[in-house]
Amino acid sequence: MVEKQITWLQTEYTVNEVLNVAVAKFKAAGVAQPINDARILLGHSLNKPNERFYGREEDLIKSEHLDDFSSKILRRCKREPVSKIIGVKEFWSLELLVSPYVLDPRPDSETLIEAARKQFSDKNRLLNILDLGTGSGCLLLAALQEWPHSYGLGIDIDSRCIEIAKKNAKRNELNHRVKFQTGNWASNLDEKFDIILCNPPYIPTNEIAKLDEEVRLYEPELALNGGPTGLDCYTELASQFSNSLSADGLIFLEIGSDQKKPILGIMKSNNLELIKIEKDLAQIDRCLILSHKHC
Ligand SMILES: C[S@@+](CC[C@H](N)C(=O)[O-])C[C@H]1O[C@@H](n2cnc3c(N)ncnc32)[C@H](O)[C@@H]1O
């Protein structure tokens, strides 16, 4: 049972005492990284977002400055992710805004950018890049940072994601090279792209209930739910990939664990062929690199 409020009885506390209160509550609530989370949230509460208080554990904090920390502690005890509480998440060295409507960018998805970097090693290339299901804009903005002469289009069905993605472009000074628009995948596009990035929803519907509370309760269902088998979006996307990919272009497609075989089957039956599979840091097959089938 999560408390409704935290009472600070003394007029001031050391940083260490304050962190210990948070850590004890996080441990009781089953939070995975209690110490790390407590330090981040305290920094944000005291308007010092980069401060982690190492070597400053004996500094004093007046209890009148602890209200915001109390509310952040209680939110985290309800298993709201730190990123959603502080409103930002790092991806590929970009600091991105997040909200309840966008999926938190994840390190696994960086596999797509790493894979694209290996395939398009010339940083001076002028590439036309499409990101389908852009969410926070993380994949597209990371790619635009990698190829500074390139342009990109990001599409999401949820206009609230598009709003965040536009803000993220501006925040990272990439807004002059990117357009974000609402849409149903690539269904209304005539243009061809050298790179297509895509991380669609791929969790089978009946597995969503088994996910960590941080994901199940706080990530948008639209970003997770891949239908009964998890493969619905791949089926929808396959024919659209073929239409939007330039003759020599490549698709970088994120997949869930154990989905490689059926997804390859779907792509092959839409005249796309596998170039390579890249693994994520946990050595799980994570990114399919696909091209048009070459006869
Ligand atoms: C797994 S999230 C990926 C977000 C982001 N690209 C990332 O890698 O963190 C999938 C995204 O696809 C979007 N989406 C779902 N169905 C869509 C559709 N039919 N057309 C366009 N976007 C869609 C969701 O709103 C969500 O933002």
The domain containing residue 153 runs over which residues?
A: 99-292
Question: Would you say residue 188 lies in a domain?
Answer: yes
Among left, alpha and beta (phi > 0; psi -120 to 50; other), residue 185 is left
For residue 183, the CA-to-ligand 1 centroid distance in Å is 10
Question: Would you say residue 6 lies in a domain?
Answer: no
**The domain spanning residue 141 has which CATH number?**
3.40.50.150
Query: Is the shortest distance between the CB of 199 and ligand 1 below 6 Å?
Result: yes
User: 124 and 247 share a domain?
Assistant: yes
Dig out the tokens for 73 from the structure. 């502690």
User: 35 and 169 share a domain?
Assistant: no
**Which run of H or E residues covers position 83?**
helix 82-86
User: 156 and 197 share a domain?
Assistant: yes
User: 53 and 124 share a domain?
Assistant: no
2 has a pLDDT exceeding 80: no
Query: Is the shortest distance between the CB of 255 and ligand 1 below 6 Å?
Result: no
Output the CA angle 260-217-285, nearest 5 degrees. Answer: 15
Query: Is the shortest distance between the CB of 98 and ligand 1 below 6 Å?
Result: no
Question: Would you say residue 232 lies in a domain?
Answer: yes
Question: What's the domain count of the chain?
Answer: 2
DSSP-derived secondary structure letter, 108: G
Dig out the tokens for 110 from the structure. 């960086």
Atom index in ligand 1 nearest the CA of residue 106 equals 9
**184-242, pLDDT tens digit by residue?**
999 989 999 999 999 999 999 999 999 999 999 999 999 999 999 999 999 999 999 99
Query: Is the shortest distance between the CB of 111 and ligand 1 below 6 Å?
Result: no
Q: Whole-angstrom Cα distance, residue 172 to residue 151?
A: 15
**19-55, pLDDT tens digit by residue?**
999 999 999 999 999 999 999 999 999 999 999 999 9
Residue in this structure with the two tokens 């840091």, named with its chain if needed: 281
Question: Would you say residue 86 lies in a domain?
Answer: no
Task: Give the orientation angle of helix 138-146 with respect to helix 159-171, to 10 degrees.
Answer: 30
**The domain spanning residue 61 has which CATH number?**
1.10.8
User: 163 and 243 share a domain?
Assistant: yes
